[in-house]
Chains A and B, each alone.
Chain A
Amino acid sequence: MALRSGWLKNPWRRAEQRSHDPYWDFFINTAPADRANSLLDVLRKAPEGNVFPTKADLHTPEVTARHVTEMARYLGADLVGITKLDADEAGHPSAIVCAVRAHHDPSQAPGIGGQVPVQNGLFVTFVLSAWIRELGYRASMAASLDAARLAVAAKLGTLDRTGKLVTAEYGTRVHVADVIRTDLPLAAA
């Protein structure tokens, strides 16, 4: 929604506004009593699948980078960037950084609703890395501490003074998903 000011909203749809929803705070801010009711652990801890033994017939690295970006967007990423890795312990030459829009900062909102951006980010990175493995190339997703730094290297935005990513499109209301490190031949965007 482009319109953010409350007084401009339709008065006849007041009942549907989130500030009028008595359960919305529970949804966003109350951490689940049983972690099994949240999907995040399941997706994070799922073992990585095999790399398909036959490599797919690829296009040039520029075209492949475009296709990976397009696929990530189709899966639901709002921002996608590709960057080269200098020293990766597993020897992966490139990293794909996806970011999704977050209405609430997932680190401040532990509820199932507050973690929805994390869930959406995991959906993108899980399927995208599985797809790259099925193309015949290695790809692994992992939550990394330098995700924000890599996002800057992938030209998604800049860092503010607290080390959070600031993007032109969504400001700081963005969640950087797990970084995918891969040896798929990709040109940095």
Chain B
Amino acid sequence: MAVTPGTETPRPPYLGRSVRIVGPVANVDMNQTPHPRNSRGELGKALFNWYRNTISRDPLTRVSAPNHFADQRNFLASVVNQAPKGKINSRQVAVPDPAVMTRHIKAVARHMGADVVTVARAHPSFLYAATAPPKDSAARDVYQNSSGDVFQGRTPEQMAQRYPYIIVATTAWDYDKLQAHRHYIGDAAYHVSQMKAQMILKALEGYIKELGYAALRGVSNPQAAGLASGVGELGRNGLLIHRKFGARIHMPDPIMTDLPLVSDQPVDNGVEDFCKVCRKCAINCPTNSVPFGDKVVFNGVEKYKINWLTCYKVRPYMDAHWGSCLTCATVCPFTKPNVWWRSLTVWALSTCPIPARPVLVRALKAIDDRFWGATRQTRVRWLGYDSGIKPGEQACTVAGCTAPHGTAHAANPVGNVGYYAPLKENTNRFVKRDA
């Protein structure tokens, strides 16, 4: 049977042990993802107002979070992402050996400051559905979907054939600040590195165009490309878990390109075996949005499926304390400083024969609970912020500060306990767990 080139459906991609494609996958429509739906008001008034009409009371959040700024001109990511697109250089650089070019592109991204760079082989199911981009400035800042990079009438199959590689470059969050999850300090770790990642990707996109090749943004699902290229495995908390950084990595919009490259393979970090045993993220989630049960099949993909709606819905009520929760990423046993003992542990886990892994995982989980605690309650101080001050109270704990602060201040807290709103005991009684 004659098949028109570019219309045959390729075999489902291998995404590692943590995610399995078991049925037909419909391309994800960007307009049906949480932020665009919220910006259209489909998720209720509280979320809509929080998303569109709230100015954060934290100065650093106002310059680093995708919405909640007082003045958009003070937000770097919107300046970077709404910049005009450059032209593709007409003098194309020849690439006789794709392996050399792959090494070069990875070195370039690292030179610009990326912590993780991988290359995925494009697959039609990784692409977003070819619909009009959301007409929403905030979503545009995050996803870059306002670009002129359109499908130009091509099907996802034709796109994946014409632009066969997806470059995933990203940054990791600061470990020490992340310990203050559900706090402005954790927000700083998250949002600042997110801005940095967006700047790096934009610069890398420009460089690929200077090499004389196409660089498309806003077309590919970052998590799928990340799985296929071995950034990590998908954990119970719905986040990619990296070998070195655990769950503390961003998954910003990757670059789809026709630059000849060599693609990376999915990795086995032992996340699949760990998530079967460990339920730290599910136990700690303040809204019980992380499943305790098994994987489910959603859109033809077998994976752990979080309840994004309940995860999202708590945010308007916590606006005075934090912008991004980050608890499931913080408590994940894989989220540790990038030092030799964690490399050794992950190496031991990933080289262990799979049948023997449950035993090792239980031992590691016990060690993690013993030394890092079942919940994270570390007190973090950074600049004038201090997570030892209870939510709603005010105090100045900066050493050597003699300034007469205008507002009424509580007594300085002692001890090493951090307080993160909402406290888990306040939310548990409202939600019935499913397992």
Give the interface of A toward B (CB within 8 A): 15-16, 18, 21-24, 26-27, 30, 32-39, 42-43, 46-50, 52, 56-60, 62-63, 67, 70-71, 74-76, 112-113, 116, 119-120, 123, 126-127, 130-131, 133-135
Contact = CB atoms under 8 A, between A and B. Distances in A.
Contacts of B89: 33-34, 37
Contacts of A71: 383
A67 B384 CA distance: 8
A21 B107 contact: yes
Contacts of A22: 100, 104
B402 interface: yes
20 contacts: A23-B104, A24-B107, A26-B93, A32-B86, A33-B89, A34-B87, A36-B84, A36-B87, A37-B207, A42-B79, A46-B73, A50-B70, A52-B71, A56-B59, A59-B401, A59-B403, A60-B403, A63-B401, A76-B196, A127-B76
B83 A50 contact: no
B433 to A, nearest CB: 38
Interface string B66-90: 0000111111100110011111011
B100 A57 contact: no
B112 interface: yes
A139 B242 CA distance: 39
A39 B206 contact: yes
Contacts of A116: 111-112, 203
Given A63-B401, A123-B199, A76 B210 contact: no
A43 B79 contact: yes
Contacts of A46: 73, 79
A120 B108 CA distance: 14
Nearest to A39: B203
B100 A34 contact: no
B403 A63 contact: yes
Contacts of B210: 30, 32-34, 37, 112
Nearest to B174: A74
Interface of B: 59-60, 62-64, 70-76, 79-80, 83-87, 89-91, 93, 100-101, 103-104, 107-108, 111-113, 174, 188, 192, 195-196, 199, 202-203, 206-207, 209-211, 382-384, 396, 398, 400-403, 405-407
A50 B72 CA distance: 9
B84 to A, nearest CB: 5
A27 B384 contact: no
A127 B79 contact: no
Given A26-B93, A34-B86, A47 B199 contact: no
B401 A60 contact: yes
A71 B188 CA distance: 10
A94 B39 CA distance: 41
A92 B406 CA distance: 25
B13 to A, nearest CB: 28
A23 B207 CA distance: 12
A67 B60 CA distance: 12
Nearest to B215: A37
Contacts of A23: 93, 100-101, 104, 211
A49 B405 contact: no
B80 A134 contact: no
7 A-B pairs closest in CB distance: A37-B86, A49-B74, A37-B206, A36-B86, A49-B73, A130-B74, A134-B59
